[in-house]
């Protein structure tokens, strides 16, 4: 596979990670932004912004998303968030209130384009060992393959980390039949060093 040089503005990665994560109360700065950016504009370049394009609205509003990882693949920005369903489950220490059973992938052509929802790319029913709670994922490209890493609880109610693959950054992803060995936790983050060595960082439990 031939990969184009990444030209997507790197600072947008930080904006996506902050602005598409779990909702937080409005700050004074957010109130100020509301006054300088028209309510009908998702993106706006204003004199007050110093020439930078400011994102006013959340990128994704038609479904509930959180904990995104963002990567530039094939000269587009791809976002890999968790997906929470609309439900009224009671809150527990085990996180049962989060009905997360699948993943969607989103892409953006440039900083001013709206995200494209590529639909469901992996469901808990597709993963032989997984039962529920598909939380924060990550993705990486190596050896002409896109690897998608995700946590989920198994039949023993223990979090494991699984991996699925695709030839496209937009999926769909095909899961391996078993979870990775030694990954009894959540929130995987994957990094490939300049020498080609891949590392996975995870934690939280």
- Structure-block tokens of residue 140: 């990486």
| 100, burial (CB in 10 Å: exposed 0-12, middle 13-18, buried 19+) | buried
pTM above 0.85, yes or no: no
- β-bridge mates for residue 140, sequence order: 147
Task: Return the H-helix or E-strand segment holding 140.
Answer: strand 138-142
Mean pLDDT for the stretch of residues 128-147: 97
Q: How far is CA 76 from the centre of its chain?
A: 14
Q: What is the pLDDT of residue 200?
A: 95
The Cα diameter of the chain in Å comes to 56
User: What is the dotted CATH code of the domain comprising 11-23+58-201?
Assistant: 2.115.10.20
Q: For the ranges 14-23, 168-177, 189-198, which has the lowest average pLDDT?
A: 14-23
């Amino acid at each position: 596979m031939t990969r184009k040089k990444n030209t997507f503005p790197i600072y947008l990665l930080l904006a996506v990670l902050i602005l598409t994560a779990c909702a937080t109360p409005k700050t004074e700065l957010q109130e100020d932004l509301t006054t300088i950016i028209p309510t009908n504009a998702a993106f706006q370049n204003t004199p007050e912004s110093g020439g930078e394009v400011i994102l006013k609205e959340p990128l994704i509003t038609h479904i509930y998303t959180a904990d995104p990882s963002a990567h530039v693949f094939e000269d587009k920005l791809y976002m890999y968030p968790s997906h929470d369903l609309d439900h009224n489950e009671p809150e527990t220490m085990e996180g049962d209130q989060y009905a997360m059973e699948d993943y969607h992938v989103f892409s953006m052509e440039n900083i001013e384009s709206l995200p494209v929802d590529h639909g469901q790319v992996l469901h808990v029913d597709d993963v032989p060992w997984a039962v529920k709670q598909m939380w924060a994922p990550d993705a990486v490209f190596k050896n002409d393959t896109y690897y998608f890493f995700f946590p989920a609880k198994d039949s023993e109610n223990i979090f494991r980390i699984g991996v699925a693959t695709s030839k496209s950054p937009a999926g769909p992803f095909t899961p391996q039949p078993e979870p990775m060995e030694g990954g009894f936790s959540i929130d995987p983050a994957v990094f490939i060093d300049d020498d080609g060595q891949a590392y996975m960082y995870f934690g939280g439990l």
